[in-house]
Chains A and B, each alone.
Chain A
Amino acid sequence: MPNITTPHELTDLRSKLAADAGKVTHTLAICNGTGCQASRSTPVVEALNEQLAEQGLKEKIRIRVTGCQGFCEQGPVVVVEPGDTFYCRVAPEDAAELVSSVSRGEVVERLLYQDPVSQQRMRTESDIPFFRSQERVLLGQNRRVDPCSIDDYIASGGYQALAKVMAGMEPESVIEEIKASGLRGRGGAGYPTGKKWESCRAAPGDIRYVICNADEGDPGAYMDRCVLEGNPHLVIEGMLIGAWAIGAQGGYIYVRKEYPLAVANARTAIAQAREYGLLGSNILGSGLSFDLEIARGGGAFVCGESTALMASIEGQVGDPSPKDVHTVEKGLWNRPTNLNNVETWANVPFIINNGAACFSAKGTEHSKGTKIFALTGRIKNTGLVEVPMGTTLRNIIFDIGGGATNGTAVKAVQTGGPSGGCLPASLFDLPVDFETLSEAGSMVGSGGMVVMDERTCMVDVAKYFLEFLQEESCGSCVPCRIGLSRMLEIVTDIAEGRGRLEQIDLLEELADTVAHTSLCGLGKTAPNPVLSTLRYFREEFLSHIQEQKCPAGVCRALTVYAIDPEKCDGCGVCLRGCPVGAISGAKKEPHVIDPDICTRCGICRSECKSDAIYVN
């Protein structure tokens, strides 16, 4: 295996790999990320391999097993190169036909994406509405590489930015370039990356660290997983460039244990980079010595906060500490430490390769570049979406996401996870950038976008986030520990029909105290979900309190289910599904629910195929 000692040798290796790649006529890029694995992509990979062997095409057609390609809803996904024919929902049984069609240069019509509106089959990503409005600067690279192959990454131009830096960029000019690009932290706060690097470089000390935050504790967000899992060398290259600019000798990738594939792929990538001499001493002959380690997180949301994260890497309980001294000065083991999010690091090689101006050409005045969002919830097209900063919510939710499922109306979108808020449909023309969303009472956060419709109760959403935050609060400071518990008690009262009007004022007062007096970012932003739902969906709170009604039919204490005899065809699905035996009725006859036995769990409503169960 090659030990690359100069930028020149890296170029040679790239040419050699390109020559090797020229020997195959086609490549089948099959997504085997966590999402597609859930849709059983691994058997598809096996079946395709068997078919290549059986049809004697192993020399001509290559299979590239990739990380997440983004359109998770349609997985397993196979893209045929050249031509970029996009096949979705591929099953192992399709392998024979798919392989033989590729060798004949034909297209398997039935496996193409079918547009739900026009019913038209679409051949490539650029035809499909989900992809058409995106600009996939980072995500688009996932398809080009097998995350377990450093050769793939190098062949697709990887480590070129590192070589450029090593061959003639002073650390200061790297920092200037990042500053000029306007890149801001993708983890939530949006702090200017170049400025952070500069402070860390200037901080006194001999030993410095860089850390990649892949904790991604926000429920409903998974872009960091996909980037690290699908293209780990991109993150490593970004960190290497950062280490050069900052003067760091060591680094950590802090990744949550719940992402086993990301952990495994990052480990493999680090081992390969060491073998190739891209981690270790005197990297590319530059004199830079730098190595990386993986530290796994144990499933604590607070560990996404910088000081808690560093405590966790040190092997301790993840308690945050006061930030009177910043971590760029005294971080990991009290040494200057630069912490950036996965997506932030992943943007660095692009900026170095293409220049700051190319990066800042996209986006708004104060939010540059593209951002990846995890588009999920009650919407048609779910998956990862990468768009320029400043794209409107409407564009993301309707043009890319295809709008709500089953003809219901989209009511709100939750952005920024437990630190963010819920924005109503009337604000969907807002451009998504750091400032605009903050002003509206939410935040970009790490990029989760959970779409909610008429069947989502906003009181329940507020309660959900409070339960989450109260559970995840480390308990170090009083406002967060006690304040959140009190807020949860009040919202629970409202959800269960015991709410009083004056409690809304108390809720707002408590929220204000928690936001202003908590120790760390978790507590400071914790009231956002409640405040934003109160601001935009106050009438839902009022109907819970004054009318004892949950309009969405979610809050159990206020919900009575009934079966519409007109719609019920007596199939018996609800009867079998009911865990308490509250439903009765003869076969093919309308069924009835006994409200005295019914526990309002809603299982029957979720399973009814004729939409016959309604909230009374």
Chain B
Amino acid sequence: MGAYAMEGLWNGRQKQPQQLIEVLLDVQERDGFCSEEALREISQELAVPLIEVWRVANFYQALSLKPRGKHLITVCLGTACHVRSAALLVEECFSRIRMETGDTSVDGLFTIEKVNCLGACALGPIVVLDGVYHHHMTPAKIRKLIKSVYKLEEETMSDAEYHNPA
């Protein structure tokens, strides 16, 4: 397990099964997803059977078992956002970005995540791009947001990298 450095994560948590969700959330935050390697190590360190670690990781919506794109677009679909047409935003994302069958784009640049509520209901529809909140979103505004990321990526990457992301 040495290849996967997780020191710092354990801080007094070893052999404490109740810390499972906290540790998984920390891994998710750090790596963007919970890899099989991480799940195996967590199982060992917390003394929780691997099947149980997987079951928990699979149950909670905030945890992802698949790698995510470089940029995370979170679209809030809470009631307040829904009545202000948040569903159109998801539609707009999926029509502007070429997606794999799941929710991550072919080029690995984007993952589109739908959440039930982000608690900024007064300003809905809310979209979060890489941790930054955007309020009163419309299809046109999200289109611009996506464009700005593409533009930034083109500027910072060489052509070869851009078309074949790691």
Interface residues of A (CB under 8 A from B): 34-35, 37-39, 72-73, 75, 216-222, 225, 257-259, 295-301, 312-318, 374-378, 382-384, 414, 417, 448, 450-452, 456, 461, 464-465, 468, 472, 573, 577, 579-580, 601-603, 606-607
CB distance from A31 to the nearest CB of B (A): 12
Q: How far is the CA of A603 from the CA of B61 in the complex (A)?
A: 28
A602–B123 CB distance below 8 A: no
CA distance A599 to B46 in the complex (A): 51
Known A315-B56, A377-B83; judge A579-B92 contact (CB<8 A).
yes
Listed A/B pairs (23) with beta-carbon separation below 8 Å: A34-B119, A38-B133, A73-B122, A219-B80, A219-B81, A219-B116, A220-B78, A222-B119, A225-B119, A257-B25, A299-B115, A300-B60, A315-B19, A315-B21, A315-B56, A317-B55, A374-B122, A376-B124, A377-B80, A382-B123, A472-B116, A573-B140, A579-B92
Q: Is B77 an interface residue (CB 8 A)?
A: yes
Q: Which of B29-54 contact A (CB under 8 A)?
A: 46, 48, 52
Question: At the interface, yes or no: B120 with Cβ under 8 Å from chain A?
Answer: yes
In the assembled complex, the CB of B79 is this many whole angstroms from the nearest CB of chain A, namely: 4
Task: Give every chain A residue within 8 A of B80 (Cβ-Cβ).
Answer: 219-220, 374, 376-377, 382, 448, 450
CB distance from A288 to the nearest CB of B (A): 24
> Which B residues are in CB contact (< 8 Å) with A375?
122
Q: Write the chain A residue with the least CB distance to B79.
A: A220
Q: Known pairs A298-B24, A378-B83. 18 more at Cβ < 8 A? A: A38-B120, A38-B126, A219-B78, A219-B80, A257-B62, A297-B60, A298-B61, A299-B115, A300-B59, A300-B61, A313-B18, A315-B21, A316-B52, A317-B59, A450-B121, A452-B83, A573-B140, A607-B139
Q: Which 5 A-B pairs have the closest CB atoms?
A: A298-B60, A219-B78, A38-B133, A72-B122, A220-B79
Closest to B24 in A: A298
Check: B73 CB closer than 8 A to any chain A CB: no
Looking at the assembled complex, report how far the CB atom of B83 sits from the nearest CB atom of chain A, in whole angstroms.
Answer: 5
Our pick among B22, B52, B95, B116 for the contact of A468 (Cβ within 8 Å) is B116
Contact with A along B117-146 (1 / 0, CB 8 A): 111111110100000011100111001000
What is the bound-complex CA distance between A448 and B56, given in angstroms? 29
Is B82 close to A, CB under 8 A?
yes
- Complex interface: chain A residues within 8 A of B19 (CB): 315
Contact A315 B117 (CB under 8 A): no
Contact of A258 with B96 in the complex, beta carbons under 8 Å: no
Counting CB contacts under 8 A, is B88 at the interface? yes
Q: A315-B19, A579-B95 are in contact. Are A258 and B56 (CB under 8 A)?
A: no
CB pair A316–B56 under 8 Å, yes or no, is yes
**B interface SS class:** helix
| CA A375 to CA B124, docked complex, whole Å | 12
Q: Which residues of B contact A602 (CB under 8 A)?
A: 85, 88
**In the complex, which residue of chain B has the Cβ closest to the Cβ of A333?**
B18
Interface 0/1 of B6-31, CB less than 8 Å to A:
00000000000111111011000000
Given known A315-B48, A377-B84, A601-B91, contact A220–B121 (CB-CB < 8 A): yes
Residues of B within 8 A of A452 (CB): 83
Q: In the bound complex, do residue B121 and residue A221 qualify as a contact, i.e. CB atoms below 8 Å apart? A: yes
Contact A38 B134 (CB under 8 A): yes
State how many angstroms separate the Cβ of B128 from the closest Cβ of chain A.
9
**B contact residues around A297 at 8 Å (CB):** 21, 60, 62
Most buried by B among A75, A374, A461, A601: A601
Distance of A130 from chain B, by nearest CB (Å): 11
Task: Decide if A577 touches B79 in the complex (CB within 8 Å).
Answer: no
Cβ–Cβ contact B25 & A298, under 8 A: yes
Closest chain A CB from B24 CB (angstroms) = 8
B63 an interface residue at 8 Å Cβ cutoff?
A: yes
**Distance A448 CA – B20 CA, assembled complex (angstroms):** 31
Q: Out of B20, B77, B123, which one reaches A35, CB within 8 Å?
A: B123
Whether B83 and A577, one on each chain, are in contact in the complex, defined by CB atoms closer than 8 angstroms, is no
**Cα of A494 to Cα of B123 in the assembled complex, Å:** 31
Task: Tell me whether B140 and A577 are in contact (CB under 8 A).
Answer: yes
Q: Would A315 and B18 count as touching, CB distance under 8 A?
A: yes
Quick check: B21 and A417 within 8 Å, CB to CB? no
CA distance A314 to B95 in the complex (A): 41
Q: Which residues of A contact B85 (CB under 8 A)?
A: 602, 606
Residues of chain A within 8 A (CB-CB) of B124 are 376
Cα–Cα distance between A221 and B78 once the two chains are bound (Å): 9
A residues less than 8 Å from B91 (CB atoms): 579, 601, 603
- Closest chain A CB from B138 CB (angstroms): 6
| Most chain A C-beta atoms within 10 Å of own C-beta, residue among B78, B82, B83, B92 | B83
